[in-house]
Chains A and B, each alone.
Chain A
Amino acid sequence: MDPFLLTVWIVRLLFLGLLYLFLFRIARALVGDLRAAAREPGAELGRLVVVTSPAGEPAEGASLALDAIATIGRDVNNAVVVEDQFASAEHAILTFRGRAWYIEDLGSTNGTFVNGSPVEDVVPLGFGDVIQVGQVRLRLERPRVAASRR
């Protein structure tokens, strides 16, 4: 083969190769990013914002950080304590499984509602959904981001 044509083809393929080298380096950077985000210590998984609370405990507008398992009820041992005459002692439980939030009613007297419909069994939640426990309404919000990332 003509050495000149050979050079031409080598340069052409080198161009395509460099394009893919670029994509490969980006892919590596992205994977690194994702791993770093997953490793981040103390990253919270979501927040509950109090929408209405007639009894004032928790206070309206308060924002509560959530762990992977958070119980809601009147009893002081719950992660989220609601002081409300229509809430049961152990009312509902919020769990973060895999990549999403779920809520389960713990056999409360007045039931738990998500966006106005009663919770039977386990219901998946999205950010922005409003949970109602007794007269207290709480909105699930996306977690706050740690500001210390590179």
Chain B
Amino acid sequence: MTAGARRAGAQLDLPAILGPIRPRARWRETKLLAVVAATILVGSVSLELTRHVADPGEATGLHPANPLHLAIYLGLLGVAHLVLILSGRRMDQILLPTVAMLGGISLLLMERLPQKLVVQSFGPWRLGLGDVQLAWLVLSFVLATALAVTVRSDRWLRLYKYTWAAAGVVLLLATFVLGDEVNGQRLSLTLGPISGQPSELLKVILVVFLAGYLSEFRPLLVEESTKVGPISLPPLPFVVPMVAMWAIALGIVVIQRDLGAALLFFTVFLSLLYVATGRPGYVAVGVVLFVAGAFVMYQLFDTVRVRVDIWFDPFRTPSTTGYQIIQSLYAFARGGLVGTGLGAGLPTVNGNLPIPEVHTDFPLAALGEELGLVGVMAILGLFLVVVERGLRIAASAADDFRAILAAGLSLVIGTQAFIIAAGNLKLIPLTGITLPFISYGGSSLLVNGIIVGLLLALSDRGVEPPPPPRRPGRLARLAGRGRSLAVGS
């Protein structure tokens, strides 16, 4: 009996989740998760010891800083691991431990920062920064595991690419019309009890749409049938969406004043265009467009000009606009090679934190101070591993859609980490986006959970085979028409 016939038979039966469970061992993941658990445990003990150095009133505390948090987090990892084993699917075994390590570092950092940065009350409970972050981490991992186990087909992503794109545009417009304005930026949207940052979700939608679009029209995009002077372009109808993409990125800057998201979207778009076509020329054109757009934006908008001026010379306005980035640089400098140790950094200025948005925009500065250059290199290395896994999943994907989707999802995480890390280090102008898996923030953690879940599902080597290529649409036939054969002598 072929695999297809068996699957067809299975669909008539009970839902797969009630069927016989055939576990498959994941020893590599088990071992790596053991190292993660040990690392987070030691980090937590280190945090507690540092507190005793600051306040040596009690006996030495060779125990975790917050045993309950630690137990919940490690238990969560154990459950996620167990669920993946029980699902019996052949999924990537390195992604989950890497993300678990990043999440663990995030938990340590949020426990270490002043808990009053975020306070939410639920009935009798008052949850501080660490508690809330732990809750979001739990939800994020639950979401990732659930997606990894349940997504067995990519039809719902593949077939409805324009629907997804439309949903994304609606989300963007809704944010513009209904969004809450904070510091001149309209980033968050509140619908009833739910409040979130749509641009986080938008990045996944963008990747899904681009994967669908680029994989369908890739053969046509590679052709060079339109000549503009010395530059060869693909057939004109296919240039339009790319220009539209560029316009949307600029629109996000103009309307939302959200430089980070615009930079992220455009970078991911160019990367995927290169992944799909392998033509450096397109990327060059995109970069030229970007530079031109950035120059115009600089001339027209104060927000952009302020950001770029701070980047050139933050010390010109040390107590106003340049304040955050200067404090960030001081923090990295104080950290030195191995850092001051978890919990020992962040001296306060007049009783306030030196960096106001340390838990969302500057977690890397705090980690740079407390773990030093060595620690920051390790964290950047972890992001590199996530990207490597994504590209590896892409390289062994069964077809173009899955390849571009996997590459795009991992590049979103890698690019976002780069943009904010480089911003904190004054390598590029600072833009307010989150450091994936580490920054405090529900939307960010949940969306990153979705990304990890999809990547895990895509890495499975036993999923439904991709559907056969569809007949080219009307546009594709139009573009192919009129290309007659030159019959030689």
Contacts and interface: CB of A to CB of B under 8 A. Distances in A.
Contacts of A14: 42, 46
The 10 closest A-B pairs by CB, nearest first: A18-B39, A126-B278, A12-B341, A19-B378, A110-B488, A11-B46, A8-B49, A15-B43, A22-B35, A128-B222
A139 to B, nearest CB: 6
A11 B225 contact: no
A69 interface: no
Interface stretch (B205-213, B241-249, B293-301, B380-388): B380-388
Given A26-B94, A115-B224, A128 B341 contact: no
Interface of A: 4-5, 7-9, 11-16, 18-23, 25-26, 29-30, 33, 86, 109-111, 115-117, 126-130, 132, 135, 139, 142, 144-145, 147, 149-150
B337 to A, nearest CB: 10
Nearest to B397: A145
A11 B461 contact: no
B375 interface: yes
B218 interface: yes
B45 A11 contact: yes
A22 B36 contact: yes
A13 B94 CA distance: 24
Contact of B382 (A23, A25, A145, A147): A23
A26 B389 CA distance: 11
A42 B218 CA distance: 28
B86 interface: no
B461 A23 contact: no
Given A16-B371, A18-B42, A11 B378 contact: no
B251 interface: no
A25 B38 CA distance: 14
B378 A20 contact: yes
Given A9-B341, A18-B38, A111-B488, A130 B223 contact: yes
Contact of B39 (A13, A19, A111): A19
Given A25-B31, A26-B94, 7 more contacts: A7-B49, A8-B50, A20-B378, A22-B101, A25-B35, A130-B219, A142-B403
Contacts of A127: 278
30 contacts: A4-B60, A7-B60, A8-B46, A8-B53, A12-B342, A14-B42, A16-B339, A16-B371, A16-B378, A18-B42, A20-B374, A22-B32, A22-B35, A22-B36, A23-B381, A23-B385, A25-B32, A29-B28, A86-B485, A115-B222, A116-B225, A116-B483, A126-B277, A128-B218, A128-B219, A128-B278, A135-B485, A142-B403, A145-B397, A150-B90
A9 B94 CA distance: 30
B28 A110 contact: no
A77 to B, nearest CB: 24
B153 interface: no
Contacts of B385: 23, 26, 30
A12 B488 CA distance: 75
Contacts of A18: 35, 38-39, 42
Given A15-B46, A22-B36, A30 B94 contact: yes
B489 interface: yes
Nearest to B33: A22
B98 interface: yes
Contacts of A86: 485, 487-488
B338 interface: yes
Contacts of B278: 126-128
Interface string B275-305: 0111000000000000000000000000000
A18 B371 CA distance: 13
B113 interface: no
B392 interface: yes
Interface in B39-83: 39, 42-43, 45-46, 49-50, 52-53, 60, 62
Contacts of B397: 145
B277 A12 contact: no
Nearest to B483: A116
A149 B397 CA distance: 12
B143 interface: no
A86 B60 CA distance: 87
B195 interface: no
B398 interface: yes
A147 B381 contact: no
B461 A147 contact: yes
A132 B167 CA distance: 41
Nearest to A132: B485
Contacts of B50: 8, 12
B219 A139 contact: yes
Nearest to A118: B486
Contact of B223 (A15, A116, A149): A116
A126 B225 CA distance: 17
A109 B31 CA distance: 62
Contacts of B339: 12, 16
